[in-house]
Every structure is written in structure tokens, then in C-alpha cells.
Amino acid sequence: MSNSKSNLIRITNGRVVINGRIEEEETLWIQDGKFIDPERTFWEQRIVPDTIIDAQGMLVSPGYIDIQVNGAVGVDFTADRDNIVEGLDLVSKALLRFGCTAYCPTLVSSFPDAYRELLPHLKKRQGNIHDGAEILGVHLEGPFISPAKFGAHQLETLSISPNGVVDFEACYGFKLGSPSAEHIAFITVAPEMEGVMEVIPQLVEAGIQVSIGHSGATTSEAEKAISNGASMVTHMFNAMQQFHHRDPGIIGILGSAQCNPYFGIICDGIHCHPNSVKIAHTAHPDGVVLVTDAMSAMGLPPGEYHIGNMKVDKSEDRVYIQGTTILAGSVITIDACVRNFRLFTGCSIIEAIEAATLHPARALGITHKKGTFQSGADADFIFLDDELRVKRVFVAGEEVLI
């Protein structure tokens, strides 16, 4: 089923996840690919809908947002330079069937020539049924991270910034404040590395969100990074100092009185024990942002794949750097993360859904267009059954065949 954007569409008979609750009597109205004010539509314009969509009692949620996607269905955004345009289209379409209607393509640590070749192709792009999920901007995960916590990143690519922001610009190949920089959603950095702490405020001032991760930062260093403008933590518990009661490192942010950043959680039961997920949720429920950290093998059978320039082996449910026991991203989907999150924490349906909708939208500062049903927001939404399984997906008001 496909609806023309110019039509006035009414969604009825659904249980709408809105404003922190589930409303059974809520009716949603859509026109030109956006949610519109129903009172104004009915009382001022005095018009009736062209199309009525019966949700048949299902849950109606904003589309899921995944801010950390390294690749999927055989595509690796960092390594597949020759086919990046085709690969981007393939992943954007594939993500829709899991309810993901917007995402951040993620590049792992690379040499400068890779950024110069890839970034011109990784631009923000509106979602639609033809091109797939919306591209919200690139997540640059490195290379200004710690060699002690490099995870699945190629050690030789890592960098420091003794010359401050000049080193960032030289590495990525764009000037802060330039049109090219507008396509960067956020950058993951290790704040303890030389010169990085001082660059954080400049990145934020230029409109780029900063997340801390792949870092051996102490709790005080993490708190300073947050006070300097960093607003997120990349995949909490992974690639950071293990918890110690005298100095819990970045994990200690969860108990901080003055810092309340958003934090990614890979909810596959492998990257984080279910109890760890529950601890994080209990400590700071409004900060949870579910991410997949999906890599090229997501959606494919077991075998040999790659992340960046590193070969990996995929079993049924996990991926390791070849010849090691180092996890190399995940193969979970965002809808499975939502279901696991509810299972692991015992949270409500609303909390589980908002961790993949409202929270990532807030983290990126885009709630005016994503993650909500407010008037003017993009009409990206999904129908879910009571087990939180995706049944129908809509992008800009049009239904996707899944």
C-alpha cells in the first residue's frame, strides 16, 4: 500500500505511544509527509481525510532511530569505498524492515584519505519509500580514541591532536562551520588523549555533537568532557575502563550528580550482560539510547566478513575479529534491541520504545522532526504487536512493503 504525500491521511484505532503514555483514543493526521495538528485540520479547514489507515488495535510508535550503524547486509561503510553509493542505498532500504526509519552511518577509525573519499558521499538525506531510511548524518567513531581501548578499530589509524582542532580538520578533510561539516551528526572521542579535551567545545559550537568512548578516561576526565560539551557516551560498558569502586571510569557517569549524558547500549545480551543493562537503566533511565552497532554481517549467514580493513568471523549471533575474542560490532537489529531491553530491565513498553525513538532524537537535538508525533515532525511511524514485533512501517506517510 502506498499513499500519495498530498493526501490527508488519518490513522485510527491504534494504541499510540505519545507523551510518555499509551493513548487508545488518539488519532494521528498526516499531510505532505508530516504529522499535522488534528484540531486545526478539522475545525479550521473543515476537511475530511482522503485515506484512513486502521491500526487494528496495534501499538503505533514513531519509527526507530539507530545512531550507530557500521553497515549491514554485506555493506561496510568504511571499507566499501568503491561501492559506497550503492551500499548506502542497500542498507537504507534493508533497515526499514526492522522498523528503523532513520540512522547514522558510522565510520570506524581510518586514515585521512578514507574520510576524504567517503564523506562527500555520506550526506544527510530525507527518508522515503524509494531511498529507504533517513540518513541523519555521519557518526565518526574515531580516530581520536585511545590505543588502549581500540576494540575493533585498526590501531595504526589512531590519532592525537596536539595542534587542537587543526588536527581534526586535517584528518577529516573539512573545516568546522563549512557545508561539509553540516553532514556530521557526532564524533566519538577519547577525552584523555592529547589535545582532545580542548577541542570538544569547538566541535559543539560548530554544531557537531560529541560522544566519549573507546577511552580509558577516569571518572573525573569523563565529567570534565561532559562539562566541556560532550553529551553522549558511545556503547556504554564497551571499550572503556572496567568498573572499579575507587574510580569507575566513564561508567561512573551513571552515578554522577552533575552529569547526565545520553549513552548508547548494545542490547544483544553479548556486549552487555542483561544485569548491566538493568543497572544502567535504573541509574539513568532517561539517558538510554538503544544502538545496534551493526556491521556488514547483520542480516547475513555465518561466515567471514570485514569491518573497516579488519577481517571478522560471524557465528550465529556474534562477530569476532578474526583469530581473536574481540567483539567487532554486532549483528542484532534495532527491533530486537527494543524487545531485549524490555526483557532485561522489566521496563514498560513505553520506556522500551522511547529508548529507540525519543531518546536518540533528543540526543541529536532533532525532536522537532524525529522520534515524536508532534505537529510538523516527519511522518515516520511503525505498527507493533504486543510482543513489540514490527508489523507495518511507514516513511514520510507512505507504507513500505516489508
Any catalytic annotation for residue 293? yes
DSSP-based three-state secondary structure for 40: helix
For residue 163, CA distances in Å to 111, 146, 193 come to: 18, 17, 12
**The residue to which cell 562551520 is assigned:** 177
Which is the catalytic residue, given 268, 293, 335, 378?
A: 293
Q: Which residues pair with 66 in a beta bridge?
A: 103
The angle subtended at Cα 117 by Cα 112 and Cα 212, nearest 5°, is: 50
Q: Are strands 8-12 and 28-31 parallel, antiparallel or unpaired?
A: antiparallel
For residue 16, CA distances in Å to 57, 59, 65 come to: 9, 6, 18
Q: Residue 214 and residue 312: Cα distance in Å, rounded? A: 19
Q: What is the DSSP string of 2-28?
A: ---TTSEEEEES-EEEETTEEESS--E
Q: Which residues contact 229 (CB under 8 A, 6 or more apart)?
A: 200, 201, 203, 204, 205, 210
Amino acid letter for position 333: T
Q: Which residues contact 166 (CB under 8 A, 6 or more apart)?
A: none
Phi, psi of 279 (to 5 degrees): -60, -45
Q: Would you please indicate which residues are annotated as catalytic (active-site) residues?
A: 293
